[in-house]
């Protein structure tokens, strides 16, 4: 049972991504249409890459601020990294990169299934812990922060670039621009993330986590 916007939106995201994973794993090309698996797999890769990049950046920050379990936070980061590696291998297999030629699709999807399940166990653990410490308003703000971060996140997996601190922020900006270029060039569809409900404006937690303050100036008296 979910209790706040953060829990609901992350569960909805999980359900959407799990459905896209199932569609991607069962997409089969034909002799007449050899690229039929591309749309389903690309959609899964883009939406999952966005979520993992955003969640493994913001959720640990929020958990640290609220004295979250360090082991849970570390496990989420490790699971996110491992899932990104699996997604990168999937992309390499899809586009015929030389180092992925010997990989079989059953092996690719087996690894993705395992990493995907492990990642969501870790994310659910952190979100459940946060739900016990955040007020409803704070949960709303964090859910919106996560949504906005996904909109700005890379659309391809980048497991080996920095993910934290100033190097991580710089790397993400570069990856986003490179991914946008290739998405446009390849005509790749990138679906919008799940948008949280019951949220009209960004509050202080959202602004803090995104390093994007936009405080309203007081009117002159």
pLDDT tens digits along 185-218: 888 888 999 999 754 445 555 555 544 443 333 3
**What single string gives the DSSP state of each residue in 140-152?**
HHHHHHHHHHHHT
The residue range of the domain holding 119 is 5-209
Residue range 59-63: mean pLDDT, rounded: 93
In a domain, 79, yes or no: yes
pLDDT tens sequence across 101-110: 899 999 999 9
In a domain, 121, yes or no: yes
DSSP state of 190: -
Residue 98 burial (CB < 10 Å; 0-12/13-18/19+)? exposed
- Domain count across the chain: 1
Q: Could you tell me where the DSSP H helices lie in 135-203? A: 136-151, 165-186
Looking at per-residue confidence, does 148 or 210 come out higher?
Answer: 148
CA dihedral 12, 164, 42, 100 (to 10 degrees): -130
Is 55 a domain residue? yes
Length of the chain (residues):
221
- DSSP secondary structure string for all residues of 110-143: HHHHHHHHHHHHHHHHHHHHHHTTS-HHHHHHHH
Query: Is 88 domain-assigned?
Result: yes
The verdict on residue 187 lying in a domain is yes
| pLDDT of 189 | 81
User: What's the CA gap between 199 and 126, in Å, rounded?
Assistant: 22
Does 182 reside within a domain?
yes
In a domain, 64, yes or no: yes
User: What is the spatial distance between Cα 132 and Cα 221, in angstroms, rounded to a whole number?
Assistant: 41
6-37 pLDDT, tens digit each:
999 999 999 999 999 999 999 987 777 767 88
Tens digits of residue pLDDT in 118-145: 999 999 999 999 999 999 999 999 999 9
71-93: pLDDT as tens digits = 999 999 999 999 999 999 999 99
């Amino acid at each position: 049972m979910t209790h706040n916007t953060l829990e609901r939106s992350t569960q909805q995201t999980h359900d959407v991504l799990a459905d896209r994973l199932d569609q991607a794993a069962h997409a089969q090309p034909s002799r007449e249409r050899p690229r039929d698996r591309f749309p389903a797999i690309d959609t899964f890769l883009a939406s999952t890459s966005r979520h993992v990049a955003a969640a493994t950046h913001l959720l640990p920050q929020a958990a640290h601020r609220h004295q979250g379990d360090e082991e849970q936070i570390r496990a989420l980061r490790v699971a996110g990294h491992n899932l990104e590696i699996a997604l990168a291998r999937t992309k390499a297999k899809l586009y015929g990169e030389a180092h992925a030629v010997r990989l079989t699709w059953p092996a690719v999807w087996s690894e993705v299934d395992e990493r995907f399940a492990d990642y969501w166990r870790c994310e659910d653990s952190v979100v459940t812990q946060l739900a016990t410490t955040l007020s409803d308003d704070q949960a709303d703000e964090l859910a919106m922060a996560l949504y906005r971060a996904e909109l700005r996140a890379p659309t391809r997996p980048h497991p080996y670039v920095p993910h934290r601190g100033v190097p991580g922020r710089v790397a993400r900006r570069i990856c986003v621009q490179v991914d946008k270029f290739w998405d446009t060039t390849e005509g790749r569809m990138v679906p919008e993330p799940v948008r949280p409900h019951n949220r009209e404006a960004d509050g202080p937690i959202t602004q803090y986590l995104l390093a994007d303050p936009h405080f309203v100036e007081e009117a002159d008296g």
